[in-house]
Structure 1
Amino acid sequence: MIEVLKTGFLTSIQDSGRYGHRHHGVPISGAMDEVSANMANALLGNNKEDAVMEITLSGPELLFESDASIAISGAFMSPTINEQELLNDEVYHVTAGSILKFGRPRRGIRCYLAVLGGFKTVRVLGSRSWYSSVTPVDRLSVGMHLPLADKPVLKKKPKLPVNSAHNYNSNIIEVEKGPEFDLLSKHQKAQLLNGIFNIAKQNNRMAYQLKQQILKHSYSILTSSTLPGTVQLTPSGRLIILMKDAQTTGGYPRILQLTDAAIALLSQKSTSEEIDFVLKQ
């Protein structure tokens, strides 16, 4: 078990997502940065579906009540065990009584803590991912106890995935054309694909908004299905990028669709950072 001594800003348990329930309006959820979550799991030889802890902007303080093997990937948040510095993308054996702490991010904004065998929190609708209207809780609280698998020591060196780390300096967000892309005028397409955009302060697990707008429009569509990574265009010309906790339908034109890798990279970017949409070849 792990006891939560401090929660951090927004810390939750996430896995690869909750599928098969979108027709009931249930979001997919899951790790915002699948690339980093998969890396943390792979370092321990876990399955990529195993639940990890997603840590955003500021980290928790955790007391290990039993031995465990851990790995941390994604944003670098100056983790320490008993005040000894840890590195990302390494495996550590933690003994009972140890305290894991995190600082503020120095690269990226989300990191992932994996434990051998995954966190064994309650599974709801086939997933351990926390989401406010589906699971009993949506974030850590002080005094919470998190169950672990009963296998604290890594016995063999796992094979790591290819392309398991981000280029954090890249602002290129790879996209495909959305269902309503061809509603756009030539000028709007040029604005979209030739412009540089900055992330607005309205960014979270549901959606990222962008500061800049493109030309206004009067296009209308019937309410249609959306996915994580769908880029919606409001009548005012504002761009909204749906993320893992987003609604399952929407009435704005769906002009672009981010690739899975682009969603993961975008999730590591914060307010005012630049992004550049590039069509997938």
Structure 2
Amino acid sequence: MIKVLKPGLYSSIQDFGRFGCQQYGVPYSGVMDRYSAGLANIILGNAPDLAVIEMTVMGGVFQFDSDTVICVTGADMSPKLNGETIPQNLPVKIVTGDVLSFGKLRKGVRCYVAVLGGLLSEKILESRSMYQGVTKQSVLLKNDIIEITTSSSFLIIKNALVKLKDEVFENDYLEVFKGPEFDLLTKNQQTFLMSNSFSISKNNSRMAYQLEECLENVLEPIITSPVLPGTVQLTPSGQLIILMRDCQTTGGYPRVLQLKESSINVLAQKFTGDKIQFNLLEY
């Protein structure tokens, strides 16, 4: 098992989310950056969608009470094992009593810790993802215990060599498709939307990322309609809101764009003040 000595900031257990429950108002949830979380699992030989620990901006401190193997991916939070620096994106052997900690944030926003065999926290509605109102708690707390599969096998080197995609951290372009209300925008609005850079505001979370720059909006609110992670909404004030993994299931603001799945991963590693630009794709 893993004992949480310090939880870090907004740390939680997440897998790839809940599906088939949106008609009941239950969000998808799940890891913000599926690429990085899936990579950690794949390196360990796990299925990519197994539950991992997700940390935001500041990592925690975790003590292992059994032997296992871990992999740390995503944001570089200076991971250490028993005070010694360890590599990311490679399997790391853990023995009983080892302590995993994190330090200075060097790159990205969200970091992932996968464990051989996955985390065995409670599964609700076919997912282990934490979400307030669905699970008992929405974040990890000090002294929490996370059950894992005990393993003395370290024979996973065959999965250690995986090509990394640096664009998750380095790409400032978000690939998008037209949203249902995109064609209601004027040509000038469409041009402004696709030719300008936008800044991530301080209002960013697992639910949504708000952008600083506004787009003049004369559109009427729409009848409440389905929304998804990656939906870009245009508010009456002209502010753009990009919905993320914990977003609501319906909304009444015009849906002008829809992010490609890989672009949600890119955005999940952006921080306040970072610039992004939309790149429109054809269906």
Band of TM-score, shorter chain: over 0.9
Measured in 1, the distance between the counterparts of 2:170 and 2:98 equals 34
What is aligned with 1:238?
239
Show the counterpart of 1:197. Answer: 198
**Residue 150 (structure 1) shift:** 2.9
Contact 1:116 1:152 in 2 (8 A): no
Asked if 1 retains the 8 angstrom alpha-carbon contact of 2:69 and 2:93, the reply is: yes
Q: Which residue of 2 aligns with 1:119?
A: 119
Structure 1 equivalent of residue 46 of structure 2: 46
Sort the Cα spacing of 1:152 and 1:26 in 2 relative to 1 into closer, same or farther, 3 A.
farther
Which residue of structure 1 aligns with residue 167 of structure 2?
166
Q: 2:275 matched to which residue of 1? A: 274
| Kept after mapping to 2: 8 A contact 1:183/1:219 | no
Counterpart CA distance in 2 for 1:7 and 1:228 is 26
C-alpha deviation, 1:145, in angstroms: 0.6
Quick check: 1:63–1:100 contact (8 Å CA) kept in 2?
Answer: yes
Give 2:217's aligned residue: 216
Aligned-residue CA RMSD (Å): 1.3
Q: Deviations over 1:221-241 (max 9, x none)?
A: 110000000000011110000
Query: CA-to-partner distance for each residue in 1:37-91, whole Å, 9 max, x for gaps?
Result: 0100000000012100001100110011111100011111100000110111011
Structure 2 length normalisation: TM-score?
A: 0.96
Question: 5+ residue gaps in structure 2?
Answer: none
Cα distance in 2 between the residues matched to 1:210 and 1:92: 38
Query: Residues 122-161 of structure 1: matches in 2 within 5 Å?
Result: 122-156=122-156, 157-158=158-159
What secondary structure, in the 3-state scheme, does the structure 2 residue paired with 1:27 have?
A: coil
- CA drift at 1:185: 0.6
In structure 2, what is the Cα distance between the partners aligned to 1:192 and 1:159?
41
Query: Which SS does the other structure have where 2:175 is aligned?
Result: strand
> Does the CA-based 8 Å contact 2:168-2:269 persist in structure 1?
no
The answer as to whether partners of 1:200 and 1:272 remain within 8 angstroms in 2 is: yes
Per-residue deviation, residues 2-36 of structure 1 (Å, max 9, x unmatched)? 11110101100000110010000000000000000
Match of 1:75 in 2: 75
CA apart distance, 1:135: 0.4
CA distance in 2, matches of 1:167, 1:246: 21
Query: What secondary structure is seen at the aligned counterpart in 2 of 1:32?
Result: coil
Query: Following the alignment from structure 2 to structure 1, what is the Cα–Cα distance between the partners of residues 209 and 78?
Result: 26
In structure 2, distance between residues paired with 1:167 and 1:241: 17
Q: Quick one: which amino acid aligns to residue 243 of structure 2?
A: L
How many Å separate the matches in 1 of 2:198 and 2:225? 26
2:62 corresponds in structure 1 to 62
Shift of 1:120: 0.3
> In 2, Cα distance between the equivalents of 1:158 and 1:216?
50
For 1:130-187, what per-residue CA distance to the aligned partner results, in whole angstroms no more than 9, with x for missing partners? Answer: 0011001111111111000133423231276666553422211110100110010111
Q: How far apart, CA to CA, are the structure 1 residues paired with 2:4 and 2:269?
A: 24
Distance (Å, rounded) in 2 between the aligned partners of 1:75 and 1:31: 13
Any conservation in 2 of the 1:53–1:114 contact (CA below 8 Å)?
A: yes
> Is residue 233–residue 255 contact of structure 2 (8 Å, CA) maintained in 1?
yes
Partner of 1:87: 87
Please tell me whether the aligned partners of residues 66 and 150 of structure 2 are also in contact (alpha carbons under 8 angstroms). Answer: no
After TM superposition, the score normalised by the length of structure 1 is 0.97
Q: Distance in 1 between matches of 2:271 and 2:118?
A: 28
Name the amino acid aligned to 1:62: F
Q: 1:159 to 1:9 in 2, by over 3 A?
A: closer
Q: Deviation at 1:253?
A: 0.5
Segments of 5+ residues of structure 1 without an aligned counterpart are none
CA deviations 1:83-109 (Å, max 9, x no partner) are: 110111011001111110011321101
Q: Which amino acid counterpart does residue 51 of structure 2 have in structure 1?
A: A
SS in structure 1 at match of 2:37: helix
Residue type of the alignment partner of 2:37? A
SS of 2:167 mapped into structure 1: coil
The answer to whether the 8 Å contact 2:219/2:254 transfers is: no
Equivalent position amino acid for 1:230 in 2: T
| Per-residue deviation, 1:217 | 1.5
Distance (whole Å) between structure 2 residues aligned to residue 88 and residue 159 of structure 1: 11
Find runs of 4+ consecutive structure 1 residues off by over 4 angstroms.
159-165
